[in-house]
């Protein structure tokens, strides 16, 4: 089955209100479903992956990829924690800021002493500025995030030597 035939099946599905189509031939399997917000994608076990992007309402799925294909490594190995060292982690997804405004002095610098209630940065989430406290007592060893950088939930922001 070639791309032209796949497009014809998708057009037929649009015209007839058909919501699912599945075809299996020698070494080739195609499954098309409608009604999802995902972009349609066509996979084939013997041909390169084809992407059809004309109709967002049509979703195309395929047979599982062959087991012989190596899976790419999604994340590097987790860093090993050092004794007496803690990390201040992001409690939310947002944008990291070291100061309350571009003209203001940064809340903390490397080598600064902090307590559990010391404000160390701001994370903006949905236009709300959230002050982040150290939640540990110690000395800031390293600032791990650049000003204005997006951060994820649980991402390490600061390395702190605990007192």
Does residue 75 belong to any structural domain of this protein? Answer: no
Q: What distance in Å separates the CA atoms of residue 154 and residue 75, rounded to the nearest whole number?
A: 15
Please give the C-alpha separations between residue 21 and each of 59, 60, 100, 124, 159, in angstroms, as whole numbers.
10, 9, 55, 45, 53
Does residue 69 belong to any structural domain of this protein? Answer: no
Dump pLDDT digits (tens) for 1-58.
677 777 777 777 777 767 777 777 777 777 777 765 445 555 444 444 455 555 444 4
pLDDT at 67: 53
Average pLDDT value over all residues in the chain? 76
Does residue 29 belong to any structural domain of this protein? Answer: yes
Does residue 100 belong to any structural domain of this protein? Answer: yes
| 57 and 94 share one domain | no
- Count of domains forming the chain: 2
Mean predicted confidence (pLDDT) in 124-141: 91
| 49 and 9 share one domain | yes
Does residue 123 belong to any structural domain of this protein? Answer: yes
- pTM to 2 decimals? 0.50
pLDDT at 29: 78
Q: Give the residue numbers spanning the domain of 39.
A: 3-62
């Amino acid at each position: 089955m070639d791309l032209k035939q796949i497009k014809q099946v998708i057009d037929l599905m649009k015209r007839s209100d058909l919501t699912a189509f599945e075809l299996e031939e020698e070494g080739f399997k195609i499954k098309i479903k409608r009604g999802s917000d995902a972009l349609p994608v066509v996979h084939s076990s013997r041909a390169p992956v084809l992407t059809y992007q004309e109709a967002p309402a049509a979703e195309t799925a395929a047979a599982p990829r062959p087991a012989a294909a190596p899976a790419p490594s999604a994340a590097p190995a987790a860093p090993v924690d050092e004794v007496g060292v803690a990390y201040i982690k992001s409690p939310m997804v947002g944008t990291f800021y070291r100061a309350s405004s571009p003209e203001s002095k940064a809340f903390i610098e490397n080598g600064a002493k902090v307590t559990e209630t010391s404000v160390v940065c701001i994370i903006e989430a949905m236009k709300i500025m959230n002050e982040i406290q150290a939640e540990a007592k110690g000395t800031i060893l390293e600032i791990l995030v650049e000003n204005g950088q997006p951060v994820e939930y649980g991402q390490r922001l600061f390395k702190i030597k605990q007192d």
